[in-house]
C-alpha cells in the first residue's frame, strides 16, 4: 500500500496540480491586493466618493449596557467586501480561462504537427518489398 501511495504521490500530474494550486492561491492574493489597493480606490471617485468596502447593511444594532460595554454585537452584512470578492473572482476566472484557452491551443498545434518521417531503413525495406512484389506478378 505504501508503494502504491508513493507511485500516486510522485505522478507528474499530481505534482503539477499541487503547483497549480499554490500558484493559483498566490495569484488570487495578488488580485485581491490589486482590487483593494488599486481598483476600488480608482473606482470610488467615479461612484461619487463611495468606498465599496464601507458599504454595509446592519440587520440588528449592537446592544450597549449602562456601563458602555457591548452586550450584543451588531449583526452586519458587509456588501462591499462581497462585491470586492466577486470582482476578484471574475478577474481570476477570466485569467484562468485565458491560460486554459492558450494551453488548449498549444495542444491542438502539437496534435496537428505531421508525424515524423519513418527511418531510412524502413523506407528502403518497403521499396525492396514493392519491387519483389512487382517481379513476382
**pLDDT above 70: residue 16:** yes
pLDDT band at 114 (very low <50, low <70, confident <90, very high): confident
Q: How many other CB atoms sit within 10 Å of the CB of residue 40?
A: 19
Higher pLDDT, residue 94 or 7: 94
pLDDT (tens digit, 9 = 90+) per residue, 68-100?
A: 888 888 898 988 888 888 888 888 888 888 888
Q: What is the pLDDT of residue 73?
A: 87
Is 70 exceeded by the pLDDT of residue 12? no
The answer to whether the CB of 34 falls within 8 A of the CB of 99 is no
Q: Which of 5-19, 94-108, 109-123 has the lowest mean pLDDT?
A: 5-19
Contact 63, 71 (CB under 8 A): yes
**What's the mean pLDDT in 13-33?**
82
Give SS3 for 49: coil
Indicate the SS3 state at residue 57: strand
User: Please, what CATH class does the domain formed by 2-136 belong to?
Assistant: mainly alpha
Per-residue pLDDT averaged across 108-135, rounded?
84
Residue 66's pLDDT band, with cuts at 50, 70 and 90, is confident
Mean pLDDT estimate for the chain = 83
Can you read off the three cell numbers belonging to residue 9? 504521490
Amino acid at each position: 500500500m505504501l508503494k502504491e501511495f508513493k507511485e500516486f504521490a510522485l505522478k507528474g500530474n499530481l505534482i503539477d496540480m499541487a503547483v497549480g494550486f499554490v500558484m493559483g492561491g498566490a495569484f488570487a492574493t495578488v488580485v485581491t491586493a490589486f482590487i483593494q489597493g488599486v481598483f476600488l480606490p480608482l473606482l470610488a471617485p467615479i461612484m461619487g466618493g463611495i468606498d465599496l468596502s464601507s458599504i454595509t447593511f446592519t440587520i440588528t444594532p449592537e446592544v450597549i449596557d449602562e456601563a458602555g460595554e457591548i452586550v450584543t454585537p451588531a449583526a452586519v452584512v458587509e456588501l462591499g467586501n462581497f462585491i470586492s470578492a466577486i470582482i476578484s473572482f471574475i478577474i481570476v476566472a477570466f485569467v484562468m480561462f485565458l491560460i486554459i484557452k492558450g494551453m488548449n491551443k498549444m495542444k491542438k498545434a502539437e496534435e496537428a504537427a505531421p508525424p515524423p518521417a519513418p527511418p531510412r531503413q524502413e523506407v528502403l525495406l518497403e521499396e525492396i518489398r514493392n519491387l519483389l512484389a512487382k517481379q513476382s506478378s
